[in-house]
Structure 1
Amino acid sequence: METNSLEKEQKINRLLNSQPSGVVYLSSWLTENGFSTQLLNRYKKSNWLYSIGTGAWMRVGEEPGYEGAIYALQQQCDQSIHLGGKTALSLLGKAHYLELSAQQVIVFGGSKEKLPAWFTNYDWGVKVNYFSTSFLPAKVGLQDLERGNFSLKISNPIRALMECLYLAPKKQDLVECYEIMQGLNNLRPNQVYDLLKQCTSIKVKRLFLYMGEKSNHDWFKYMDAEKIDIGKGKRSLVKDGVYIAKYAITVPKALAEYE
């Protein structure tokens, strides 16, 4: 009996140590690795684990953070949910004037991906704004970012700005998007081109190309922008704006006149 108990103790120890500290443990992943709900409840009683909601556990002595929760969704159930938009740009140092310690974070996931109830019900100390969309392919345009004990997949600068443009103008200011674009002077033309080719949002493609050209960046000159399909017909993003004939979009006057 004691040997069996010791073996189980070593088994849970090995499993818990297989994940970095600060990471959430998903019940689905624990079950796949041989730990039944009954066994997990026993570990809870033994003060090894504690529940942060149905389907999610933490090691006793560790506090959960939203980044450790996103890591679990990425690594333990292979989801494309990631930090994106302005949050990713801030973390990458591409939006210095943006409030990094803002009480809001932007998270993107695929059109069929939802944040689980344990995630949405938990108080992370920040407001999590989740956007489920497939205007860009899942897992394309992501990069690794070290976050203490683990590495998190977040949007690279190109994808992050496209995500900002996807949210504009209702949930993201277009002038702010342009200010971010001005700072992205060392992008790789082939990477920009590849992501634009795979983007299905006409609005995002038109705005990205318009802002890239307006910024006069070298990478824009080396990119075959003419081959990007920007659809047909006029798109009015704001009322009483300025019409940009080349890209058939109406943008805010403040953006059109921005030097």
Structure 2
Amino acid sequence: MLNTEARQQLQKMLPLDMIATKSWLKAQGFNRHFLDNAVRSQTLFPLAAGVYARQGARLSWKGIVASLQRMSDAPVHVGGLSALEEEGLSHYLSKGEKTRIHLYSAKMLPQWLDRIDTPTQFEWHGTRRLWPETLMRDNKYLRQATWQASLPPLQYSCPEKAILELLAAVPNAISFEHADQLMQGLHNLSPRKLNNLLKTCSSIKVKRLFLWLAGRHQHSWLKHLTPEQCALGSGKRLIAKGGKLDPTWQITVPKEM
């Protein structure tokens, strides 16, 4: 049995509705014997091997990701399509039974995420070819969602960063048409953030594709962009196989667009 002081310590370090790994709890000062007793007394219950929640916890994908963000040494953010959905900028519904949440980080996601029984599928997107680590740690390009009062918020990409992350998946996982529909609704982007992100982004394809799509919709922020200050590379880029070459940005795009 756990004494009152031990229970209170555990409740403080592991709030209800959050989760934690055994290694993280041990790093907080809880030894293996304590954790085994907590499981035996049903103070903790295992979600998967080495992953725990407190008895009575209500699991949600936001709680799982907020817990992951708290435990991770490297930045990991909700981004791309999921971040746009969080802002109400996408009416897209995930196909299939599971909700798909797109997570962006330089390091691969821990394997225990896939072992938790949840109606959510977490999809990893590596960022090494998209953003430098300094930008991944820059809070200017992140937003926070309160999912439970007094608990650590969920961090997700701002719309300016999210749309660029999404374009990295065109056309393999996101169609040109879907990206075009999403761009159409992005009326209120910050040109200052966009200019900084376009300068910092490592992907020539993403930057050229963004500028092509932006030109199609002529949002008010477009005239404030400075693409001439961005490294856009040289030569042509094949994005749409069998497509037509756009002469301005030197990328192939679908003929029908």
- TM-score, length basis structure 1: 0.88
| Aligned match of 2:177 | 175
Contact 1:89 1:160 in 2 (8 A): yes
In the TM superposition, what whole-angstrom CA distance separates every residue of 1:96-146 from its partner, at most 9, and x where no partner exists? Answer: x312797332323323x2222221222321222222232123234221112
Aligned: 1:30 with 2:25 = yes
Q: CA deviation at 1:249?
A: 0.1
One-letter amino acid of the counterpart of residue 120, structure 1 = D
Contact 2:75 2:137 in 1 (8 A): yes
Whole-angstrom distance in 2 between the partners of 1:71 and 1:101: 24
Q: CA deviation at 1:162?
A: 1.0
- Runs of 5+ in structure 1 lacking a partner? none
Aligned: 1:84 with 2:79 = yes
Q: CA deviation at 1:213?
A: 2.1
Where 1:213 maps in the other structure, the secondary structure is helix
Equivalence map 1:73-152=2 (5 Å): 73-95=68-90, 97-99=91-93, 103-111=98-106, 113-134=107-128, 135-137=130-132, 138-140=136-138, 141-149=141-149, 150=151, 151-152=153-154
Whole-angstrom distance in 2 between the partners of 1:44 and 1:101: 37
Equivalence map 1:55-66=2 (5 Å): 55-66=50-61
Whole-angstrom distance in 2 between the partners of 1:237 and 1:94: 25
Q: CA deviation at 1:24?
A: 0.6
Equivalence map 1:1-259=2 (5 Å): 6=3, 9-95=4-90, 97-99=91-93, 103-111=98-106, 113-134=107-128, 135-137=130-132, 138-140=136-138, 141-149=141-149, 150=151, 151-254=153-256, 256=257
Change (3 A) 1:48 1:101: farther
Whole-angstrom distance in 1 between the partners of 2:101 and 2:157: 11
Whole-angstrom distance in 2 between the partners of 1:213 and 1:14: 56
Where 1:108 maps in the other structure, the secondary structure is strand
Change (3 A) 1:110 1:80: same
Q: CA deviation at 1:179?
A: 1.3
- TM-score, length basis structure 2: 0.88
CA RMSD of aligned residues (A): 2.1
Aligned residues: 248
In the TM superposition, what whole-angstrom CA distance separates every residue of 1:208-243 from its partner, at most 9, and x where no partner exists? Answer: 111112211121111212111110110111222121
Contact 1:83 1:105 in 2 (8 A): no
Change (3 A) 1:41 1:18: closer
Change (3 A) 1:235 1:136: same
Q: CA deviation at 1:153?
A: 0.4
